[in-house]
Amino acid sequence: DEYLVAGTDGVGTKLKLAFETGIHDTIGIDLVVAMSVNDIVTSGAKPLFFLDYYATSKLDVDLAEKVIKGIVDGCQQSNCILLGGETAEMPDFYKEGEYDLSGFAVGAVKKDKVIDGKSIVEGDVLIGLPSSGVHSNGFSLARRVLDKSGLSLTDPLPRNDGVTTTVGEALMAPTVIYVKQVLDIISKGGVKGLAHITGGGFTDNIPRVFPKGLGAKIVTGSWQVLPVFEWLQQVGKIEDAEMLRTFNMGVGMVLVVSKDAADRILEESSPAYRIGEVIQGEGVQYV
């Protein structure tokens, strides 16, 4: 009666900032969430279990414990069991004090409850759920901007909202776990498609859920762009199109929902943003 849904990925170059900041207890959350369970929940699947792969030159037990703690936290937040994993020591392959991390999640969804986008039609509404920051994508570009900025990871992030955070804290903010929220929204009906906004941003991820011949019209300015993205764009002199293709810009998950369900979902899921609609055509148009 059910399909199994699987996902796998790594943390990417966000690990470089973990080494530089010494913040290791949240990188496991990024692994579990950004690269695994948030991906499989886009099919409507409930995560069942998770496996991790941790590789390093020589095992530092205290450091590994911090990383695994993050993985455990992420699993608890997504009602997922950490079933096991592999720890590999490879001297001379990794620099001392550095490690690599990847993960694998498996979930299940009833065959008649699969979210596959096939029922999406012109006029359906796009709803965005807010992100916590950069999540786990675009860090190669973010690190180049950081080098150009002249700021260190311990310097305050320039922002005008009265909140004080360091550059390192802003960049290392753990990824939002959308599993419980998304499964709750799905259970009440009206959801036709889901896009996890990872590498490729809005431009590449949203069209993947549409049937052939349909695209998206996104209303820029309809959601809160986080200060970290405003800083990255200003310092890096990055064009709008590149920002929208590289970063989540403050929206980590996009739901494609029926017109009838849109207002209810927006009200029940606050904070959430009505960011656009489905149109005839291909790709994403920004207005």
Q: For residues 152 and 229, state if they share a domain.
A: yes
Question: Who has greater pLDDT, 163 or 186?
Answer: 186
Confidence label for 163 from pLDDT (cuts 50, 70 and 90): confident
**Any idea what the Cα angle at residue 206 is, between residues 157 and 3, rounded to 5°?**
115
* Strand-by-strand arrangement of the 2-10 sheet: 2-10, 99-110, 46-56, 81-89
Confidence label for 246 from pLDDT (cuts 50, 70 and 90): very high
Q: For residues 130 and 23, state if they share a domain.
A: no
**Which one of 85, 113, 141 terminates a domain?**
113
Q: For residues 143 and 249, state if they share a domain.
A: yes
* Mean of pLDDT values over 99-110: 94
Q: For residues 280 and 208, state if they share a domain.
A: yes
Q: For residues 56 and 188, state if they share a domain.
A: no
pTM, two decimals, is: 0.91
Confidence label for 22 from pLDDT (cuts 50, 70 and 90): confident
What CATH number corresponds to the domain at position 173? 3.90.650.10
Residue linked to tokens 């150009």 = 148
Q: For residues 155 and 275, state if they share a domain.
A: yes
Q: For residues 22 and 138, state if they share a domain.
A: no
Q: For residues 65 and 199, state if they share a domain.
A: no
Distances in Å between the alpha carbon of 280 and those of 119, 122, 210, 241, 285? 14, 6, 11, 21, 11
Q: Give CA–CA dist 256/259, Å, rounded.
A: 10
Q: Give CA–CA dist 259/252, Å, rounded.
A: 21
**Which one of 48, 80, 113 terminates a domain?**
113
Q: For residues 86 and 53, state if they share a domain.
A: yes
In a domain, 187, yes or no: yes
Confidence label for 14 from pLDDT (cuts 50, 70 and 90): confident
In a domain, 118, yes or no: no
Q: Report pLDDT digits (tens) over 142-159.
A: 999 999 998 998 999 988
Q: What is the DSSP letter of 150?
A: T
In a domain, 106, yes or no: yes
What CATH number corresponds to the domain at position 22? 3.30.1330.10
**Any idea what the Cα angle at residue 16 is, between residues 12 and 22, rounded to 5°?**
125
Residue 152 lies in domain = 125-286
Residue linked to tokens 């259970």 = 187
Q: Is the pLDDT of residue 161 over 80?
A: no
Structural domains in the chain (count)? 2
Q: Is the pLDDT of residue 192 over 90?
A: yes
Pinpoint the alpha helices (H) of the chain.
14-21, 27-32, 38-40, 61-77, 139-149, 167-172, 179-187, 201-205, 227-236, 240-246, 259-268
Confidence label for 10 from pLDDT (cuts 50, 70 and 90): confident
Cα torsion at 114, 117, 120, 124 (round to 10°)?
90
